[in-house]
Structure 1
């Protein structure tokens, strides 16, 4: 234990640790000491015991995609019989439902449709903003930006400028999966390299579009590659400060080409969260994914550096297609936070606290607000 004391103390106090130190902590540090240091780092950064959540809706405008990622169960190749695209009217209808249920943001996500260039996204985002000006569009990711720029034959900087002007408020961390070259080529050989993903994020940050950063664990990457993924993100954050939060999640094994050959355990996930809190001295927020690891692990994660439990997703199709079964109601998620010895609070996209639920009497109550209020996956299951 003594060999880890200095690294843990330095990181808990906000000092910078190197990737080699982070890897040693991840693989060998005693779990309790690791958790204790991560929690101390959270207390230093956040300043209190509040854990936040958000109400949002993931709206998929198409499942048509040319990238064919091996872990994805959602996409369909162009001209596939099961391919579909929603028109703007349907997207707006779903936005309206989300607003009625208290959502403050939407995540508009879709595949790399061969015909969707910058013009498509300009029209989509401006339509949402015209009808719902207060609804935050926290959407797409570097992969879509790279794709749309190539379809339209414009530079990435130009694409970012245009979609920002059309109404995009911030960029989701979608498409990161694993950024190091070997594991990325193994699971997504047609997708842009991890370095390119980061270049596009950096270009967006320069133009004033902040974002989140994500990571998918459990597709055969090594422990060192997991830490390398963190290092690659931190290097960009050193230059831009544009990542609001880090959100790791676990690969789901159903209905995709990988077929669950490797998966991350709950313990691997929890240790990664703790190391992320200690390694990311320059990223304020850390979110855990109860949707993929389950609510029990989600509750435990609040004691390993996490200050956000993500969202009540009124709709989610991509991870659900691959087998994620965890769902929650608003009251259940609030109780999960409070019974985990934290104070629940609803936040907005930029992590401002909209409502702190200091006591149970402060808790909002609306049984309509539940994850998977509406999903394409559920609709398809009912028809089957």
Structure 2
């Protein structure tokens, strides 16, 4: 190992922060085993031998969307046989079907619907919360939130307060995609901006609402764009401390306008996870989202810095199955999740949305 890499590795091992240029050198120059060692050390300093999971399900109210992102396999126009737009009664029925099953989280995301306003989403949360008062409602990407709140003519804080009063307790990390404005303009030109995404999360953090963060990687971006993305998240976390977890999301190429791009390898997935853990020294949890990676890669990911594998899901999300994920009907029991963690030599811990251990 050359002296520069050795110096950077020593900084990571001693718990010191690395700069963007050092991250770039490490990402490009370090062998996979070294990234794994460094990321695992950082992970163990935060969560020891614990790996978290939860009992959750998704509600995806619609796949109609005002935006038409080139990487998206989920969106369908009105009238398409694969389009859906659930009524409030259908959403209630999904919630009722999961009552009494020990669910601790309802995850609600969907397309940015052209016709639904803030009142509609407030009512949706109220109804879901009335059926499942014991479950945390984690709802809406920053892009959905920005659109509905702007349409209502409210400030971000005012809109988020209304949603929180209805029962929204946390915000997922979707919609971040890639923060580099030039790459973003090529893959999702009409979508909400990087500045919008960051502003929604900063406003949520000011109100005490915890959120997650994501990146969409493995398409036309370079390593330098990934580091820039991580750097902007790290800077926001320095200011607010409001991010609970970071979730790297792999671009899947089935059924979208960027299919010719192809998909990156499992080795690249592991490098992405490891570098996320190494660089994001102030975000406590890194999630290997098993629905996206599949169960075998998820187990591998636990040696590369991940300390969370998401939840039971119960076949309630189509975002990745429509993009060609291996598991077209994603569901795992708590026992299966514990087995994956045990096989990795680690200890499975059930959590709630806010990482309280159950």
Aligned to 1:335: 339
TM-score by length of 1: 0.88
Distance in 1 of aligned mates of 2:310 and 2:272: 17
Aligned to 1:139: 139
1:260–1:322 distance in 2 versus 1, CA, 3 Å: farther
1:254–1:18 distance in 2 versus 1, CA, 3 Å: same
Is the 1:287–1:306 Cα contact (8 Å) retained in structure 2? Answer: yes
Distance in 1 of aligned mates of 2:246 and 2:258: 25
Distance in 1 of aligned mates of 2:34 and 2:75: 42
Q: Deviations over 1:58-91 (max 9, x none)?
A: 1111111110111112212345564332122221
Aligned to 1:219: 219
Distance in 2 of aligned mates of 1:21 and 1:99: 49
Distance in 2 of aligned mates of 1:329 and 1:204: 31
How many Å apart are 1:262 and its aligned residue? 3.3
Distance in 2 of aligned mates of 1:328 and 1:125: 24
How many Å apart are 1:100 and its aligned residue? 3.2
Is the 1:187–1:219 Cα contact (8 Å) retained in structure 2? Answer: no
- Work out whether 1:161 is the aligned partner of 2:161: yes
Aligned to 2:12: 11
1:111–1:51 distance in 2 versus 1, CA, 3 Å: same
1:336–1:82 distance in 2 versus 1, CA, 3 Å: closer
Distance in 2 of aligned mates of 1:265 and 1:306: 18
Distance in 1 of aligned mates of 2:313 and 2:144: 21
Aligned to 2:245: 245
Aligned to 1:372: none
Is the 2:210–2:354 Cα contact (8 Å) retained in structure 1? Answer: no
Which runs of structure 2 are paired with 1:116-265 in the superposition (5 Å)?
116-265=116-265
Which runs of structure 2 are paired with 1:330-369 in the superposition (5 Å)?
330=333, 331-354=335-358
Distance in 1 of aligned mates of 2:127 and 2:246: 30
Stretch of structure 1 that moved more, 82-91 or 311-320:
82-91
Q: Deviations over 1:357-376 (max 9, x none)?
A: xxxxxxxxxxxxxxxxxxxx
1:221–1:154 distance in 2 versus 1, CA, 3 Å: same
Is the 2:216–2:251 Cα contact (8 Å) retained in structure 1? Answer: yes
Distance in 2 of aligned mates of 1:243 and 1:142: 13
CA RMSD between the two structures: 1.6
How many Å apart are 1:176 and its aligned residue? 1.0
Distance in 1 of aligned mates of 2:105 and 2:146: 23
Aligned to 1:317: 318
How many Å apart are 1:333 and its aligned residue? 2.3
Distance in 1 of aligned mates of 2:336 and 2:159: 41
SS at match of 2:92: helix
Is the 2:43–2:306 Cα contact (8 Å) retained in structure 1? Answer: yes
How many Å apart are 1:260 and its aligned residue? 4.4
SS at match of 1:235: helix
How many Å apart are 1:297 and its aligned residue? 1.8
**Structure 2 gap ranges (5+):** none
Is the 2:64–2:75 Cα contact (8 Å) retained in structure 1? Answer: yes
Distance in 1 of aligned mates of 2:43 and 2:238: 19
Is the 2:95–2:131 Cα contact (8 Å) retained in structure 1? Answer: no
Distance in 2 of aligned mates of 1:295 and 1:120: 36
Aligned to 1:86: 86
Is the 1:66–1:113 Cα contact (8 Å) retained in structure 2? Answer: yes
Q: Deviations over 1:85-107 (max 9, x none)?
A: 21222212211222333321111
TM-score by length of 2: 0.94
Distance in 1 of aligned mates of 2:306 and 2:74: 29
Distance in 2 of aligned mates of 1:136 and 1:223: 35
Which runs of structure 2 are paired with 1:281-320 in the superposition (5 Å)?
281-314=281-314, 315-320=316-321
SS at match of 1:145: helix
Matched pairs, number: 353
SS at match of 1:334: helix
Distance in 2 of aligned mates of 1:68 and 1:221: 19
Q: Deviations over 1:21-68 (max 9, x none)?
A: 11111111122122111111111111x211111121111111111101
